[in-house]
Amino acid sequence: MPYLAHTAHAQLGALPLGFVGWTLVAVSVGLIQWRVWILTHSPESIAFPPEFKLPQSPEEQRVGGAVWAGLVGVALMVVMGIINVFYKLPEQEKGRLQTEEGIDNPAFEFYDVKL
């Protein structure tokens, strides 16, 4: 990986963004779980004013097909992650990647830059 050192600043900048992203995910999942818990443990509905003209709240609710589709999607994502982690290049590709130097991208050359 010849360009790994050139991406150190981007990796360092992405770390706080990852922290913020995962924090937002955790907060949003927590809020969703809290709302579901409130709805399942308090069967009374919200008293909206009559001028809203809303229909009556349902007497029972069931898990819809979207939940099952989401669970299948999560299972497939886990399987694909495991495949990607344990994937190995064929021997001919390993040899080609290790022996050929390749051509440097001139966009990564900063020799003429003066600060």
Locate tokens 């900048």: which residue? 13
Predicted pLDDT of residue 11: 77
Amino acid at 39: L
Clarify whether residues 68 and 36 are in a common domain: no
Query: What's the pTM value of the predicted model, to 2 decimals?
Result: 0.36
Instruction: Give 54's contacts (C-beta < 8 A, 6+ positions apart).
Output: 48
81 vs 46, 60, 73, 86, CA distance in Å?
42, 37, 12, 9
Instruction: For residues 63 and 103, give the distance between their C-alpha atoms in angstroms, rounded to a whole number.
Output: 55
Instruction: State yes or no: pLDDT of 73 exceeds 80.
Output: yes
Residue 78 in domain: yes
The mean predicted confidence, pLDDT, of the chain is 78
Task: Tell me the DSSP string of 44-102.
Answer: PPP---GGG-PPPPPS-----HHHHHHHHHHHHHHHHHHHHHH----HHHHHHHHH---
Which range of residues forms the domain containing residue 85? 64-97
Residue 50 in domain: no
- Mean pLDDT, residues 55-79: 86
pLDDT tier, 8 (very low <50, low <70, confident <90, very high otherwise): confident
Residue 14 in domain: yes
Residue 28 in domain: yes
> How many domains does the chain divide into?
2
Predicted pLDDT of residue 96: 60
Clarify whether residues 39 and 79 are in a common domain: no
